[in-house]
Amino acid sequence: MMSNFYDKLVVPVLACEEGSWPCNGPAALATALAIVCFAWWAQKVITKTKPPLPPGPPGLPILGNLPFIQPDFHQYATKLCQIYGPIIKLQLGRKIWIVISSPSIAKEVLKDHDAIFANRDTPAAALVDTYGGFDIVWRSNGPELHKLRKLVVREIMSNKSLEACYALRRREIRQMIKDIYGKVGSSVDLSEQIFLTTISVMISMLWGDSLNGEERSRLGIEFRKRLEEFVELIGAPNVSDLFPVLAAFDLQGIKSKTKKHLSWFYGIFESVIVHRTKGKKKEGSKDFLEQLLELNQRGDDKTSLSMKEMKALLLDMIIGGSDTTSATVEWAMTELLRHPDKMNRVIEELEKVVGKQNIVEESHLLRLLYLEAVVKETLRIHPAAPLLVPHMPATTCIVSGYTIPKHSTIIFNAWAIQRDPEFWEHPLRFEPERFLKETEKASYLGNDFRFFPFGSGRRICVGIPLAEKMVTHLLAALLHSFEWELPNGVMPDIKDKLGIVLSRVEPLVVIPTARLSNSLSYQ
């Protein structure tokens, strides 16, 4: 605004040629001086009246708060908010981070100013090989993002499409039950079993491959390792982001390491896509890739994707869908093992709705209301993405009386909000019953900012329908098929660590016993 003022008034006066107004010696000089003084005064008034930045802890010159950031950022940010209030500012090198820990401020940002804040501050590492520019997670707000989200939500995640690939999900869940049945009576690393199943479900639904035996576990573990490293690299404090002038040097080698992982993922995707486009159309259930290729064949601009977009989308789905889902199932099992009364209530419901002679199908899920409440309570206390995915304002904006500079990184501490005693009675107690009563807070659609584990607004998770099905079906199958004992009767703890998602520190180890009398139910 001030530069406009200067350009329009001061420059012409100072640059005017003889004879044109007001170039008449001392008068012109006086006018110019008056204008410069006025501009200086106006600038001062504007700066003074502009609301301040949010409060926050003091930092060091140049580095700001960087040296003081602690690894479990959700807990560290919660402590800071207890000191500085529900909206705080951290300075990390050239970057400003704003952390929000109150439902009303989250609403102001994600609902009232949704369009401004629907951008992402794409980390340098995510821009490698065009991934971040072509996927959903890191793409800026605009028509291309809108097209991609619409395609996923309306086509891929529609009831009809999810129904069309139910057999693929079912096959992988049955495989898990069969594998665990083979280990009845011995200690099982349930965390690993759950992860291998979710990654197999994702691979199976994305391009139809089924992994068995050693291959299932080998490829699953390789995927997990690479996904973990890839996401960690993207999320790691990177000098290239904090001091963009140094980006070209890739001082920590983050860009080159990310590139290696990306080439591995893209290599797999390319061969699957090429094989499918050249080969015969697949028989049977329609996986996501089949659906995407069919949409491409329509030749409609609204639904066609380039190869780059297709690969980036497949990677988003695997990243977005596997660890989040498996962590949620693992936390739900942990809480149920810690609360035998709640576990019994789930079993009673399963026996009533499914019965002991049948196996759990997705068609049962709508009637498993208590189990649904268990999943919601799990996502409240242990949200897989406790800080959502950071947003970024496209312009400077005033929020809750503070100035939020454009291009700052906005972090929502959903973990702290969903445990805040101001909004939740006995917030640390695992009480699924609260979701049977509180219908208002019970939706995943992000309308209530006391409970928004999938985010809210324009960037809300696109995988909610699939996540709901996968988490509930997996849990139902595990609880219906087996009884679970704790090795030496030791209760699992609830210590968490923030990595790719919020997960247990130690793997969950339990001993299964068959619950169903008919051994065919395990085939």
DSSP class of residue 96 equals: E
Confirm or reject binding of residue 122 to ligand HEM (CB under 6 A). no
Confirm or reject binding of residue 371 to ligand HEM (CB under 6 A). no
Q: Which stretch binds ligand HEM (CB under 6 A): 25-33, 180-188, 252-260, 450-458?
A: 450-458
Binding-site member from 116, 346, 471, 479 for ligand HEM (CB under 6 A): 471
Binding-site member from 89, 459, 480, 504 for ligand HEM (CB under 6 A): 459
Confirm or reject binding of residue 132 to ligand HEM (CB under 6 A). no
Confirm or reject binding of residue 220 to ligand HEM (CB under 6 A). no
Is residue 106 a contact partner of residue 456, using CB atoms and an 8 Å limit?
yes
Q: Which stretch binds ligand HEM (CB under 6 A): 44-52, 218-226, 296-304, 458-466?
A: 458-466
Confirm or reject binding of residue 291 to ligand HEM (CB under 6 A). no
Q: Which stretch binds ligand HEM (CB under 6 A): 293-301, 334-342, 453-461, 503-511?
A: 453-461
Of the two residues 78 and 521, which places its CB atom closer to ligand HEM in the complex? 78
List, in sequence order, every beta strand (DSSP E) within 467-521.
Answer: 482-485, 496-498, 502-504, 509-514
Confirm or reject binding of residue 317 to ligand HEM (CB under 6 A). yes
Omega of the bond leading into 22 within 30 degrees of 0 (cis): yes
Q: In this structure, what token pair is assigned to residue 256? A: 């080159």
Of the two residues 230 and 522, which places its CB atom closer to ligand HEM in the complex? 230
User: What residues pair up with 83 in beta bridges, in sequence order?
Assistant: none
The CA angle 379-383-388, to the nearest 5 degrees, is: 130
Of the two residues 417 and 467, which places its CB atom closer to ligand HEM in the complex? 467
Q: Which stretch binds ligand HEM (CB under 6 A): 44-52, 178-186, 460-468, 504-512?
A: 460-468
Confirm or reject binding of residue 328 to ligand HEM (CB under 6 A). yes
Binding-site member from 176, 359, 365, 385 for ligand HEM (CB under 6 A): 385
Chain centre to alpha carbon of residue 443: 17
Of the two residues 353 and 470, which places its CB atom closer to ligand HEM in the complex? 470
Q: Which stretch binds ligand HEM (CB under 6 A): 124-132, 165-173, 276-284, 465-473?
A: 465-473
Binding-site member from 258, 325, 413, 521 for ligand HEM (CB under 6 A): 325
- Measured at CB, which residue is nearest to ligand HEM? 463
Give the shortest CB-221-to-ligand HEM separation in angstroms: 20
Q: How buried is 184 (Cβ within 10 angstroms: 0-12 exposed, 13-18 middle, 19+ buried)?
A: middle
Confirm or reject binding of residue 389 to ligand HEM (CB under 6 A). yes
Confirm or reject binding of residue 394 to ligand HEM (CB under 6 A). no
Instruction: Output the 3-class SS for 108-162.
Output: HHHHHCHHHHEECCCCHHHHHHHHHHHCCCCCCCCHHHHHHHHHHHHHHCCHHHH
Nearest to 334 by CA among 514, 193, 185, 494: 494
Binding-site member from 102, 291, 324, 472 for ligand HEM (CB under 6 A): 324
Confirm or reject binding of residue 137 to ligand HEM (CB under 6 A). yes
Confirm or reject binding of residue 103 to ligand HEM (CB under 6 A). no
Known binding residue 16? Answer is no
Question: What's the CA gap between 193 and 188, in Å, rounded?
Answer: 8
Q: Which stretch binds ligand HEM (CB under 6 A): 40-48, 50-58, 319-327, 335-343?
A: 319-327
Of the two residues 93 and 320, which places its CB atom closer to ligand HEM in the complex? 320
- DSSP states of 11-67 as a string? HHHHHPPTTSTT-STHHHHHHHHHHHHHHHHHHHHHHHHSPPPPP----BTTTBTGG
Tell me if residue 391 falls in helix, strand or coil.
strand
Tell me if residue 410 falls in helix, strand or coil.
strand
- DSSP states of 229-279 as a string? HHHHHHHS--HHHHSGGGGGG-TTSHHHHHHHHHHHHHHHHHHHHHHHHHS
Confirm or reject binding of residue 467 to ligand HEM (CB under 6 A). yes
Is residue 365 a contact partner of residue 346, using CB atoms and an 8 Å limit?
no
Question: What's the CA gap between 27 and 14, in Å, rounded?
Answer: 12
Give the shortest CB-219-to-ligand HEM separation in angstroms: 18
Give the shortest CB-154-to-ligand HEM separation in angstroms: 14
End-to-end CA distance of the chain: 71
DSSP class of residue 10 equals: I
Confirm or reject binding of residue 321 to ligand HEM (CB under 6 A). yes
DSSP class of residue 436 equals: H
Confirm or reject binding of residue 381 to ligand HEM (CB under 6 A). no
Confirm or reject binding of residue 326 to ligand HEM (CB under 6 A). no
Confirm or reject binding of residue 462 to ligand HEM (CB under 6 A). yes
If binding means CB under 6 A, how many residues of this protein chain bind ligand HEM? 25
Question: What's the CA gap between 256 and 129, in Å, rounded?
Answer: 10
Confirm or reject binding of residue 123 to ligand HEM (CB under 6 A). no
Q: How many CA atoms are closer than 13 Å to the CA of 297, on its beta-carbon side? A: 8
Residues tagged in the binding site annotation for heme: 461
Residues tagged in the binding site annotation: 461
Tell me which residues touch ligand HEM (CB under 6 A).
Answer: 136-137, 149, 316-317, 320-321, 324-325, 328, 384-385, 388-389, 453-455, 459-463, 466-467, 471
